[in-house]
Amino acid sequence: MAIELDQEFPGLRAEWRRCICSDNRCDAGVGERLDTLASRFSGRQAIELRQQQIPAAYRSFYRQIGIDPDLEPTHVEQAALSRLLAGGNRQSDRISDALLLALLETSVPVFAFEAAAVAPPVEIRQALAGELAGGADLPPGTLILADRERALCQLFEQPDVAMAVTGTGAEILLVAVAVPGVSAIASDEALTIAAEAISGS
Amino acid sequence: MAALLIDYAAAGDLLDEPTLELSERAARRSLLDQIGQLDRLLSAAVCEAFPDRLELPELMPRGPRVQSLGELELLRDGLVGSLCEARSALAAREQERALAHELLTEMLRDPAKHRRLRITQRELGVGGCGVWSVAPRLGPMGRLMGWWRVKLSSGCPLAT
C-alpha cells in the first residue's frame, strides 16, 4: 500500500520564507534575548520541556518515524541540554543565533539555506531510489526536505555545506519544519522571529 | 491497550483491495496514535522520576522514514515494555521511600536503638542534601550515659 504522507501525518509540512542577511555579525539585541531565555532552563525545566505541547508533538513524531528521541533529542530538547552544559546560550553568528532564538521561543526548528541554491517550493517527501543529499545516498523512503528539483537534506538534519548560507549580503531561505500538532501560528511565528533577527528589523 | 491483529493472508481471500487498504490505514492510524500516547506517558514517568534517572531500553533506530505496519507494531510493543519498566522502577522507588520514612519514624521514637543508621533526604524523597543520623547529646558524656538524639545535618556547607 503506497503511503501518502499527508494522510499518514496530517499537518506535517515545511513552511518557508526569504530574508536578507545584511550583516552576519552577532546582534546585541538577539544576544540579550538569548540570555533571558537561558534563565528559563534549570535541570527540571529542561526535563519537563518534553511534556509541553509542541515539544511533545515533535517527540511523538520522532517515535512514529523510527527515531528514538531519548537517543537523538528533538532540536528544542538538544538546545535546552546545550544550554545546561554550556551554562548559557552561547552566541556564534547572527544567523545561528536567530535560528536558536526562534527555536527557544516557539520550539519549532528553523533551517537556513542559501536561497540561490534552492528552488522553491520546499516540501517534505520520501526519498526516491538513487537520490543523494550531502553527497550521501539516501535510502529510498527516507523522509527528506526537497525543493522543486532535488533532495536538500534528510528531515531534521542540518543542510549540506553546498546549500548552507555563505555570509553577509546573501538572500536566505528559512524553512520551518512543522509536525502534526504544531499550529500554523507557531510555525509562522518561528519564521517571523528568525527573519526579523537576521534582517535586523 | 488492545492489540490489533490483521491476518492479511486470510483477509486477502475475503476482502477486495480497497477494503484491505482501508483496514491497513485504520491499523496504521491506530498504531501511530498509540505510539504518540505511549510516548507522552513515558515522558510523564521520566518527569516523575526526576532527579532520579530511569534506565530505559534503547529502541533500535529505524528512521526517519515511514514505518511499515510490522515496524509500527514493534515500536508500540517496545514502548509498552519501556513504560512497564519505568512504572516498575517508580513503584520500587516509592516502596524504598516508604521504608525510609518508617525507619525515620523508628529512629525518632528510639534513637538509641538506631545509632548507626543514616537516612538521606534523597532516600526519603525530600529535596535537599541533608542526612538524618543519631548523635550523642553532650559528646562523650552523652555517649557514656546513653543520651542519644536524632540530628538532621544540612549536608551542604553553604546552606543557610
Indicate the range of A65-69, A146-150, B13-17, B65-69 predicted with least confidence: B13-17
Which residue's C-alpha cell is 504518540? Answer: B36
3-class DSSP assignment, residue A16: strand
* Count of C-beta atoms within a 10 Å radius of residue A29: 10
Task: Report the candidate in A81, A56, A59 with the shortest Cα–Cα distance to residue A68.
Answer: A59
**Distance (Å, whole) CA B47 – CA A77:** 14
Q: In the numeric block, which cell numbers belong to residue A47?
A: 526535563
In chain B, the N- to C-terminal Cα span, in Å, equals 50
Query: Residue B156 — very low, low, confident or very high, per pLDDT cuts 50/70/90?
Result: low
pLDDT beyond 70 at B8: no
- CA distance to partner chain B, nearest, from residue A94 (Å): 29
Smallest Cβ–Cβ distance between A47 and the set B40, B50, B71 belongs to B50
- CA distance to partner chain A, nearest, from residue B99 (Å): 26
What Rg value do the Cα atoms of chain B yield, rounded? 27
**Burial grade of B34 (CB within 10 A; 0-12, 13-18, 19 or more):** buried
The mean of the pLDDT values for chain B is 84
For residue A126, the chain B residues in CB contact (below 8 A) are: 65-66
Type of residue at A105: E
Using the Cβ of A67 and the Cβ atoms of chain B, whether some distance falls under 8 Å is answered with yes
Question: What are the residue ranges spanned by the domains of chain B?
Answer: 8-93, 110-153
- Cβ of A51 and B59 within 8 Å? no
Q: Is the backbone peptide bond immediately before A121 cis, with ω within 30 degrees of 0?
A: yes
- Cβ of A51 and B43 within 8 Å? yes
CATH domain A9-199 topology: Phenylalanyl-tRNA Synthetase; Chain B, domain 3 (3.50.40)
Question: What are the residue ranges spanned by the domains of chain A?
Answer: 9-199
Q: What's the pLDDT score for residue B71? A: 92
- CA distance to partner chain B, nearest, from residue A19 (Å): 29
* Count of C-beta atoms within a 10 Å radius of residue A147: 20
Q: In the numeric block, which cell numbers belong to residue A105?
A: 521561543
Q: In the numeric block, which cell numbers belong to residue A65?
A: 518515524
Tens of pLDDT along chain A (201 residues)?
667 899 999 999 999 999 988 777 888 888 888 888 888 778 888 889 999 999 999 999 999 999 999 999 999 999 998 888 888 777 788 889 999 999 999 999 999 998 988 999 999 999 998 888 877 788 888 999 999 998 999 999 988 766 667 666 678 999 999 999 999 999 999 999 999 999 876
Concatenating the DSSP letter of every residue in A37-70 gives HHTT--HHHHHHGGGSHHHHHHHHHHHHTT--TT
* Residue pair A90/A114 in contact by the 8 Å Cβ criterion: no
**Burial grade of A187 (CB within 10 A; 0-12, 13-18, 19 or more):** buried
- Cβ of B40 and A72 within 8 Å? no
Q: What's the pLDDT score for residue B2? A: 46
